Homo-oligomer: A and B are copies of this chain.
Amino acid sequence: MLNAKRVLHFHEGNAGMKTLLGGKGANLAEMTNAGLPVPPGYTITTEACRQYYAEGGVLPEGLWTEIRQGLEQIELKKDQLFGGRDNPLLVSVRSGSVNSMPGMMDTILNLGLNDVTVDALARNTGNPRFAYDCYRRLIQMFGNVVLDIDGYHFEKQLHHFKQLHAYNEDKDIPAEAWMELIAQYKDLIERKARTTFPQDVYKQLELSIEAVFRSWNNQRAMVYRKVYGIPDTLGTAVNIQSMVFGNKGEDCGTGVLFTRNPSTGDNLLYGEYLTNAQGEDVVAGVRTPLPIAQLEQEMPEVYTRLVEIANRLEMHYKDLQDIEFTVEKGELFILQTRTGKRTAQAAVKLAVQFVKDGILDRKQALERIEVDHLNQLLHRAIDESAKLDVVAVGLPASPGAATGQAVFDADTAEEWVAAGKRVVLVSSETSPEDIHGVIAAEGVLTSRGGMTSHAAVVARGMGKPCVCGCEEVRIDPDTRECIAGDTIIREGDWITLDGSTGRVICGVVTLKEPQMSAELDELLSWADEVRSLKVRTNADTPEDAMKARQFGAEGIGLCRTEHMFMSAERLPVVQAMILADSLEDRRIALEQLLPMQQSDFEGIFSAMDGFPVTIRLLDPPLHEFLPKLDELLIEQERKKWALSELDQAEGNIDLHSLIRKVRNLQEMNPMLGQRGCRLGIVFPEIYEMQTIAIFQAVLACRAQGITVLPEIMIPLVGHANELKSMRILVERIAEQILGPEKLQVPYKIGTMIEVPRAALTAGQIAQYADFFSFGTNDLTQMTYGYSRDDAEGKFLTHYIHHDILPHNPFQVLDTDGVGQLIGWAVDKGRAIKPELKTGICGEHGGDKESIFFCHQTGLDYVSCSPFRVPLARIAAAQAQLLFGQPDSVHAKLLSAAVL
C-alpha cells in the first residue's frame, strides 16, 4: 500500500472509489469525468489518513511530494501559481469521509492568500474589498481549525469592530477596514496561539491538510460516528480544489440544491442560495437564504443550466442528490454532489416514485429504505382539533410533533434528560458542538438558519421534529428565556413543536397517532411479497391491537396480562388477592378479577380476528403491585411521632401487617426472584383464573363468529418440568371450560425462552411446547448478567463510550452471546419438534440488525411495538433480499465461527 498513489486527480477517480476517496472526492471525480463544471483539484486518499495516524500523526513519507506535484497540475490547468505574485492560485482544503458526516469535520478556504498574494487578487478582480474579506476569512478559519483558537474570539473581534465603526453588515465594510481587522486577527493569533499566521503558502497547505486529518478525531466527529455506527478506523480523505468565489459581487452567489424536495419527496427542485456569499454562509445559517426558484428570475441562464445538471446527476446516481454550487461572475460551478438526506416520508415517496419512473425496480427500492429512518414516519402529529396557542411559525425543517420543556443549551438538554425529563432544545442556531443536545432533545427550535442548516439536517437524520429559522422567536441565552410575540418562554416551560408546519406552540398539546401514506402502503405491500418472516406485535389492549393491525401486524406475539391489573379500579382487587391470608380469600379476589380479564381478552381476540394471539400469563413479582417498603416504613415512623396515642393504636394495625407482608415479599433481586411461572407453580390458582378467562373469552368470541387462535405462553421457564406442570394445568382448564368444543379450538401452549437455561435445554423443553418465543430483553439481561435498570445510564453507558461494547445489547441483539443461545434453542427445539413455532418478542423485534439475525436463524416471526410493525415488515423483506431463504442450521455455523 505504501507504493500506491495517495493523491488522485479528479479525472483519475470515479464514484465507485468512495472507500479510497471519500464520498465527496469520489463524486467530484465522477462529475469531472461526466464533463460537469467542477473546479480542478485532487483528493488525498483515506489510506494516506490512516498512514498519518499509524505513524503517530505525521505526514507519511513521500506524501508531501505527491501533494506538491498534484498542485502543479492544478496550476497548469488554471494557469495560476500557488503563492504567485501576479496570478495566485487559491485552493480549498476539505475533509471527505466514506460516510457522509455533514459539518462534523473541518474545511479551510482561500488557502494561498498572504500579505503579497492578497494584493494580486485585489488587482486582478478589481475588488480589494472582496480580496481582503477573503484573506480575513482564511486567517479566521486557519486560526480556528489549524491553530485551535475558539472561533468565538474572532467573531467577537469582528462584532466589536463593526460596532465601533458602525457597520451594519459585512458587505458594508470597505477594504481598508478589512485590512485593519486582518492586523487585529494576526495579533489575536499571536496572543492565543503564540505563533504567527504563516506567509508561506505551502506551510498553510501542509498545516491545513494535517488539521483536516486530525479533525477525523475531534469530539463531535467521534460522537457522530458513535451515533451512526461508523467505524473509527476508516479515516477521512482530503480534497484540494481550486477556489471559485460566490462573493465577488452581485453576479456571484452560492447555494445548495436538492433534486427533489427532501422533506416531502415532491418532484420539485428544492434549495436555497445567497448572492454575493461564500458557501459556509448558507450552511451556517448566518444569513437567511432565498428559495432556489427565485434564481430563475435573477440568473435565468444559470438556473436553466443548474436544472439540467440536477436532472443529469439524479439519473446518473439514480437517487436524490444534494448539490452544492457556486456562481462566479455568472459562471456555474458544481462543488459537490451527494445522496440527499431526506425525511422518512420523502424516502418512501421517492422510493415508490423511482419505481414508477422506471429508475429502480421494487427490490432496489426496498433495499434502499433505511429502516431506522422510517421511525420518523411513525411519530405522532398535532391533533388539529385541539385549541393551540401558536406563538410563532418557523421553517418546517423536520416533520413530526414534539412536546417538552424548553432548554437553552445542549448541556442542559442532556442533563435534564438524564434526570428523566423531556426537553425541546431552543437555540439561535445549532452547531456540530451541540450534537449531544440534539440527541437528547425531543425536538429542536432555532431562530436562525434555513432548511439545510445544521439543526435541520441533523434533526431530519435522527427523525426528530425540528422548526428552523424562526426569527419571530428572540432568544436570550443569559436570562434563559425567549420571547415569541407577547409570550415569554422560560427555561422549563412546556412547549410543543410541529416540525411538519413550523408552528411553535405554548404548552402541552394532544398528539395524534401517525397515519400511513399511500406510498408507504404500496412499499409495504411490496415488502410483504418478498419477506418470509412474519411480523406480529406486542399489544396489551384492544386499542393497541387494532392499531397494530392497521400497520399490518399478523397477530400478537406478546400480550402482557399484568398491565391489565394496573388500572385504578383493579389494583385494589389485585392487592387483596396478594395480601390474602388464605387460599379461600385469594380465590375470592381472583373471582372478582376473572370477568375483568375475560373482557380484556374478548376485546383483543376481536381485534385480532383470524390472527394468532400469544397471551403471557402473569409475569412480574407480586410486590410490584404493592406499595414500596421504604415508603411504608417512613409512613410508620411519621405516624409514631405525628399522631396521638389513640390514633396510633388504631392506624398502625393495618400498616404493621401491610409492612410485614411487603417485607415478606420483598426480594434482593426481583429480576431473578419469584416471578413468571414460579408464581404460577407456587400459586396455581392465579394461572388457573387467567386460563379460565382466556378460554371463556374464546367461547364468547367464537359465539360471535370470531376466529380465535389463542397461544398461551408460560413465562420464565428454565426447566422442562416447569412447563410440563403448567401445561397440565392449562390442558385441564381447557378440558373443563371448552368441553367438547376443545377439538375445534386450535389453541397452543408454549413458553418464553428468556432464561439461559431454557435455551440450553431447549430440546427437553420442546417436548412440552408448541412454540418458543424468545424474550430477548430478559435473555440479554441474564446472559450478560446485566440488570437493565441498573446498567443503562451507569456502567453500560461508560462501556459504550469506551468501546468495551460495540452496542447497547438491549437495542441491538448480541449475536455472539444471546444469538448463539437463540440459534441453539431453535435447532434443538426443531430437532425434537419440527413443527415448533419460533418467534422473538423482546424490543429487538423492531430493530433492523436483530430482524436480520432472526431471519437468518430461521425464526417464524418477530413481534414488536405497533409503531414499529411497518419497519419490521421492510426489514424482513430486506433480510430476504440480502440473505435469501433462512437457514435453520445457521446457528451451528455461527457457533463454529464464535471462537
Give residues in A with beta carbon < 8 Å to B: 629-630, 633-634, 637-638, 640-642, 667-674, 678, 681-682, 716, 718-719, 721-722, 725, 754-757, 760-761, 763-764, 766-767, 778, 781-787, 789-791, 794-795, 798-799, 802-805, 814, 816-818, 820-821, 828, 831-832, 898-899
Among A637, A755, A790, A803, which residue has the most Cβ atoms of chain B within 10 A?
A: A790
Q: Are B763 and A805 in contact (CB under 8 A)?
A: no
Distance between Cα atoms of A669 and B814 in the complex (Å)? 21
Known: A637-B638, A778-B785, A817-B757. A804 touches B668 (CB 8 A): no
Q: Verify A760–B629 contact, CB threshold 8 A.
A: no
Some 8 contacts from A to B, beta carbons below 8 A apart, are A640-B641, A671-B671, A678-B795, A725-B802, A756-B785, A757-B814, A760-B817, A831-B899
Contact B668 A795 (CB under 8 A): no
Asked if A783 contacts B756 (CB within 8 A), the reply is: yes
User: A175: shortest Cβ distance to chain B, in Å?
Assistant: 54
Please give 19 more A-B residue pairs, beta carbons under 8 A apart, in addition to A760-B816, A760-B821: A633-B634, A637-B637, A641-B642, A667-B787, A669-B669, A669-B670, A670-B790, A671-B671, A671-B785, A672-B672, A681-B802, A681-B804, A682-B795, A718-B785, A718-B817, A721-B804, A756-B817, A760-B817, A761-B817
Contact A671 B787 (CB under 8 A): yes
With contacts A721-B805, A804-B681 taken as known, whether A785 is within 8 angstroms of B787 at the C-beta atoms is no
Q: How far is the CA of A794 from the CA of B679 in the complex (A)?
A: 11
Known: A637-B634, A641-B641, A757-B817. A790 touches B667 (CB 8 A): yes
Instruction: Name A669's closest neighbour in chain B (CB-CB).
Output: B787
A306 to B121, CA, bound (A): 129
Complex CA–CA separation, A283 to B381 (angstroms): 85
- In the assembled complex, how far is the CB of residue A664 from the closest CB belonging to chain B, in whole angstroms? 10
Shortest Cβ gap from A817 to chain B (Å)? 4
Q: How far is the CA of A350 from the CA of B183 in the complex (A)?
A: 104
Q: Quick one: given A669-B670, A798-B682, are A816 and B784 in contact (CB under 8 Å)? A: no
Given A681-B804, A799-B681, A802-B681, CB of A668 within 8 Å of CB of B638: no
Cβ contact within 8 Å between A668 and B670: yes
Chain B residues with CB below 8 A from A817, complex form: 718, 756-757, 760-761
Among residues of B, the one whose C-beta sits closest to the C-beta of A786 is: B672
Alpha-carbon distance between A447 and B766 when the two chains are bound, in angstroms: 55
Give CA–CA (A671, B673) in the complex, Å. 11
With contacts A634-B633, A802-B681, A805-B719 taken as known, whether A787 is within 8 angstroms of B668 at the C-beta atoms is yes
- B residues within 8 A CB of A761? 816-817, 820, 898-899
The one of B671, B681, B764 that contacts A816, using a Cβ cutoff of 8 Å: B764
A755: which B residues are within 8 A, CB to CB? Answer: 783-785
Residues of B within 8 A of A791 (CB): 672-674
Residues of B within 8 A of A719 (CB): 784, 804-805
Assembly CA distance A790 to B678 (angstroms): 12
Question: Which of A725, A783, A785 has the most chain B CB within a 10 Å cutoff?
Answer: A785
- Give Cα distance in the complex from A799 to B717, angstroms: 13
The CA-CA distance from A590 to B349 in the complex, in Å, is 61
Residues of B contacting A794 in the complex (Cβ-Cβ under 8 angstroms): 673-674, 682
Which residues of the partner chain B approach A798 to less than 8 Å between Cβ atoms?
681-682
Which B residues are CB-close (under 8 A) to A716? 785
Enumerate chain B residues within 8 angstroms of A832, measured Cβ to Cβ: 899
Cα distance, A787 to B787, chains bound together (Å): 12
CA distance A756 to B785 in the complex (A): 8
Residues of B within 8 A of A668 (CB): 670-671, 787, 789-790
Interface centre among A802, A816, A818 (most CB of B within 10 A): A816
- Give me the 4 closest cross-chain CB pairs, A-B, nearest first: A763-B899, A641-B641, A672-B787, A669-B787
Q: How far is the CA of A667 from the CA of B786 in the complex (A)?
A: 11
Query: Residue A672 contacts which of B642, B790, B821 (CB distance < 8 angstroms)?
Result: B790
Task: Report B-chain residues with C-beta under 8 Å of the C-beta of A638.
Answer: 637, 641
Contact of A898 among B671, B760, B787, B804 (CB under 8 A): B760
Cross-interface CB contact of A782 among B630, B785, B790, B799, cutoff 8 Å: B785
How far is the CB of A890 from the nearest CB of chain B, in Å?
A: 16
Shortest A186–chain B CB gap in Å is: 41
With most chain B CB atoms within 10 A of its CB, the pick from A633, A722, A784, A789 is A784
* Chain B residues, CB < 8 A from A898: 760-761, 763-764, 828
A580 nearest CB across to chain B (Å): 17
Known: A670-B669, A764-B816. A783 touches B757 (CB 8 A): yes
Give Cα A219–Cα B783 distance, bound, in whole angstroms: 40
Whether A783 lies near B760 (C-beta < 8 A) is: yes
Instruction: Report how far A678 CA is from B898 CA in the complex, Å.
Output: 23
**Cβ-closest chain B residue relative to A671:** B669
Count chain B CB atoms within 10 A of each CB in A767, A783, A832 and give the residue with the most: A783
Please indicate the chain B residues that have their CB under 8 angstroms from the CB of A718 in the complex.
783-786, 817
Residues of B within 8 A of A821 (CB): 756, 760
In the bound complex, do residue A721 and residue B789 qualify as a contact, i.e. CB atoms below 8 Å apart? no
In chain B, what residue has the closest Cβ to A621? B790
**Chain B residues, Cβ within 8 Å of A790:** 667-670, 672-674
Q: Which residues of B contact A804 (CB under 8 A)?
A: 681, 719, 721-722, 725
Q: State the CA gap A486–B642 with chains docked (Å).
A: 51
CA distance A744 to B763 in the complex (A): 50
Please indicate the chain B residues that have their CB under 8 angstroms from the CB of A633 in the complex. 630, 633-634
Q: How far is the CB of A844 from chain B (nearest CB, A)?
A: 16
User: Which residues of chain B are within 8 angstroms of A670 by Cβ–Cβ distance?
Assistant: 668-669, 790
In angstroms, Cα B785 to Cα A722, docked, is 14
In Å, the complex CA distance between A667 and B805 comes to 21
Q: Give A672 to B672 CA distance when docked, in angstroms.
A: 9
CB distance A828 to B760 under 8 Å? no
A761 to B898, CA, bound (A): 7
A831 to B899, CA, bound (A): 8
Rounded to whole Å, the gap between the CB of A289 and the closest CB of chain B is 47
Once bound together, how far apart are the Cα atoms of A158 and B641, in whole Å?
Answer: 62
Bound-state Cα–Cα, A641 to B639, Å: 10
User: How long is the Cα–Cα vector from A630 to B666 in the complex, in angstroms?
Assistant: 13
Closest CB of chain B to A759's CB: distance in Å?
9
In the complex with contacts A629-B630, A633-B633, A681-B799, A672-B674 CB distance below 8 A: no
Query: Shortest CB–CB separation between residue A813 and chain B, in angstroms?
Result: 13
CB within 8 A of A757: which of B642, B757, B784, B789? B784
Q: Which listed residue (B634, B669, B674, B783) contacts A634, Cβ 8 A?
A: B634
Complex contacts, A673 vs chain B, CB 8 Å: 787, 790-791, 794
Partner of A674, one of B674, B721, B756, B795: B795
In the complex, chain B residues whose CB is within 8 Å of the CB of A756: 756, 782-783, 785, 817, 821
Q: Could you say which residues of chain B place their CB within 8 Å of the CB of A818?
A: 757
Q: Which residue of B lies closest to A797 (CB)?
A: B682
